[in-house]
Amino acid sequence: MSTPNLTAEQIEFQEHARAWLAANPAPETQIDLPLSQLELATREQVEYYREWQRRCYEAGLVGTDIAKEYGGHGHSGCQDIANREMSRVGAPFLLNTVGLSMMIPAVLKHGTEEQKRRFIPKALSAEEIWCQGFSEPGAGSDMANQQTMAVRRGEEWVVNGHKVWTSFGQFAKHMILLARTSRDHKYDGLSFFLCPVEGHAGVTVKPLVKMTGELGFNEVFFEDCVIDDSLRLDDVGKGWTVAMTVLTHERGAAEGAGGGGISAVHPIERLIGLAKSSQRGGGLAADDPVTRDAIIRQAIVHEGIQQDARRAQVPALNDHPMRLPMGQGVVRTEFEQHCARLGVDIAGARSTLYKHDDAAPDNGYWPLAYMKSYAVTIGGGSSEIQRNILGERILGMPKSK
Amino acid sequence: MSKSNRPPKDFGFGPDEEMLRDLARKLLGERLPVDKLRTLVAEDHEAVYERHELQRWDEALWKEIVELGWTGLAVPEQDGGLGFKRAGIAGLVEEVGRSALPSPLVATLNATDVLAQAEGGRQWLARIADGTTATLAITNAVGSWELGEGDLSASEDGGDLVLDGAAYFVQDAFKADVLVVAAQCGGDRVLCAVPADSTGLSLVPDRIYDLTRDQATARFEDVRVAEENVVSRDAVGALERAWPSILVTVAADLVGCAEWQLQTTVQYAKDRKQFDRPIGFFQAVKHPLVNAMLDIDRARSLVYNAACAIDFDDPAEALKAARMAKSAASDAGAFISDRSVQLHGGIGFTWECDVHIFFKRSMHNQALYGDGVYQRKKLANTMIGEI
């Protein structure tokens, strides 16, 4: 597993990360843990993951490359190593994903010195959880269509509006908030705030029930919510620019941060295992030629994802530097969805069983994973919007708007 | 070839491989732009299809290619070749596909890979490095890609062998100086190098759609093969060891061809206006082209992965990776071929539009040595288990 061309610092860090993870497995727990961050539902789950992130932070695996004055560990080029090592051992996910992969990059790039010192350390330790307020009932794929208004009143802003699909909202101390400060310009009329949520007057968080029956998302209502101007990030009217910084980092950070038990299981081996224990037409699904072809198709996509990531690092084999990195989002999320759907097909009659039915194959994973997969083909820019972006920015075709 | 090394992250595609690829891109871009290709192979729609003339190719360009040593790309340096690893060869063949180069290069590379696995093949490798062209004659009348099947038999006569029967689907047979032939000899399957001008050997052209190659049935009537040209007594073993390289080479040609089809169709979508807009504005046009791009990217990445597995001597992994690459490349080729004609609209299915030249080359390569379904069936047997 050793990687060529590491610096001495990186080699030393990698050894440290491996040793620490080997000595510090995820703590045993009796509580029912969710499949991913998106299904966090209870306080005890949050406390379990908060404690895990805190320990990783203290061990130097979180905030690895962030400067010491902002609570980080001051390394260089080591965060990716930490992420990879955590993923490799199937470590629990990191709770404060919005804080780590969205708020911190935005504040580092656009924030004041005071904002950096105030917010970054407590996000790293998971003491303060962050949520994201970019989506609204009328602003999904068309993200600049924000209607939540922030009106200036002296040194304060008064916010009114309605955010949706807010993961972590029910546990969050703060929100990265994109709000409209002018109706005169669609893009330049947006500003960015680091908005208090928990216990803050004028902010109401209501859980949103997903199609699976699970909680996780929220609606957040702002009714004359007052926030101080010192919580504005970058200039008035620069909200879209900051949001683009955030989304660029979100896509980059999605590569490895966290891990999570489920991704440690090879998805193709999981499908093959299911096919070998499922019946189809009087025989095993694993002996059905059509099913076999469908599984191998996914195996090829899976290998393709690994090899695309590998080729993305070889400049001589990339005609356009952003083509592979930008294409991977849609490929990965749709792969996840197609695999889950295939699992539903293979499970046959047993795919109807909910996770609480003892006879459900793989504890009801397949239909649940399939339904959940729409979170990733819709959230963060739907697959359709991703294809517009790829067609326009990479292939240079005219904009579809 | 380096053994026991861990496969490198960059697939072993280093400065030498890049230089070779860039040279190929420059040479073929200058010498065989698409208008010249059209003049060469598709000037007259009746030439090949009605009058049954052989597909034309640029023999002057081929002489330059031989001088550059490309026939010996896969021949080890000690045998007079350039000794490139498979990653470098894949890079060059991508350019060959991108230009739809009519030539015996791919057939010669495929035959070289088999000869390199035959215990008595070295003398022929040296000749190939000097410019001798070769092709495989290993396939039966129904086009089986199973390595033990064929319609040729050999009998011993003194030290020589005498071949009778036929080999089918022989690629670029009319451009080849030597045929690499598998034949049943008693209980053995033997591999022979048979010069194309041997007495009793005749080539019957197949009527094929692809304008950028020829294909033939090779008929053998009492063809005498000298002992030194019986290069292996285990043809199946040699073919099996060479098979990953053969699949990767054809997949690389498909990928290069597909990238030309993609870029050409994208350009058309930017230029062609309907309803007052370039048609690339419409998502029904834009999104399939993005899908084609993602498919091509996957195939290309899998080609270099397989090439690297071959170069770093991991036979089981190499065959699996090569089958994945060929499956992905065949399917990516089929999809962009389909869209390249459809999205060009009315002009797209005329002879006048260039896309049919690449469409036909791709369609030929999709089937050659097994299409996507075939490769996946083989992969299922190793990854899931035999039924």
Instruction: Convert the pLDDT of each residue in A343-369 to its tens digit.
Output: 999 999 999 999 889 999 998 999 999
Enumerate residue ranges in chain B where pLDDT < 70.
1-5
How much is the pLDDT for B5?
A: 61
R_g of chain A, CA atoms, integer Å: 22
Rounded Cα–Cα distance for residues B260 and B375 (Å)? 24
How much is the pLDDT for A250?
A: 63
**Three-state secondary structure call for residue A124:** helix
B135-234: what fold? Butyryl-CoA Dehydrogenase, subunit A; domain 2 (2.40.110)
A299/B293 CB distance under 8 A: no
Among A303, A313, A396, whose Cβ lies nearest the Cβ of B270?
A: A396
Instruction: Convert the pLDDT of each residue in B42-80 to its tens digit.
Output: 999 999 999 999 999 999 999 999 999 999 999 999 999
Sign of CA dihedral A276, A280, A283, A289: negative
R_g of chain B, CA atoms, integer Å: 21
Enumerate residue ranges in chain A where pLDDT < 50.
1-2, 252-264
Domain edges within chain B: 15-133, 135-234, 236-383
Domain edges within chain A: 8-95+112-127, 131-251, 265-394
Which residue is it, tokens 């962009």? B336
> Would you report the helix, strand and coil content of chain A in percent, each value rounded to 5?
50, 15, 35
Which residue is it, tokens 């001597």? B313
A400/B286 CB distance under 8 A: yes
In angstroms, the Cα distances linking A158 to A130, A143, A235, A347, B369 are: 20, 21, 17, 53, 69
- Selected residue of B293, B335, B378, B386 to mutate for chain A interface (largest A Cβ count, 10 A): B293
Count of Cβ atoms closer than 10 Å to residue B15 Cβ: 8
B10/A400 CB distance under 8 A: no
Rounded Cα–Cα distance for residues B131 and B73 (Å)? 11
Task: Read off the tokens for B98.
Answer: 């991108």
Instruction: Convert the pLDDT of each residue in A239-292 to its tens digit.
Output: 999 998 888 766 544 333 333 333 446 899 999 999 999 999 999 999 999 999
Count Cα atoms within 13 angstroms, Cβ side, for A146.
Answer: 31
Contacts of A272 in chain B (CB under 8 A): 383-384
Of the residues A85, A136, A250, A336, only one is catalytic, namely A250
The three-point CA angle A123-A125-A128 to 5° equals 45
B15-133: what fold? Butyryl-Coa Dehydrogenase, subunit A; domain 1 (1.10.540)
Rounded Cα–Cα distance for residues B258 and B218 (Å)? 30
Residue A389: closest CA among A285, A244, A198, A173: A244
CATH number of A265-394: 1.20.140.10
Among A292, A330, A392, whose Cβ lies nearest the Cβ of B380?
A: A292
Contacts of A292 in chain B (CB under 8 A): 376-377, 380, 384, 387
How much is the pLDDT for A4?
A: 58
CATH number of A8-95+112-127: 1.10.540.10
Chain A residue closest to B11 (CA)?
Answer: A311
Contacts of A268 in chain B (CB under 8 A): 383
A250 is catalytic: yes
B236-383: what fold? Butyryl-CoA Dehydrogenase, subunit A; domain 3 (1.20.140)
How much is the pLDDT for B316?
A: 86
A131-251: what fold? Butyryl-CoA Dehydrogenase, subunit A; domain 2 (2.40.110)
Shortest Cα distance, chain B CAs vs residue A61, angstroms: 24
Shortest Cα distance, chain B CAs vs residue A81, angstroms: 16
Task: Read off the tokens for B182.
Answer: 């598998």
Contacts of B289 in chain A (CB under 8 A): 391, 395, 397
DSSP character at residue A391: I
In angstroms, the Cα distances linking B335 to A78, B270, B289, B343 are: 41, 20, 10, 12
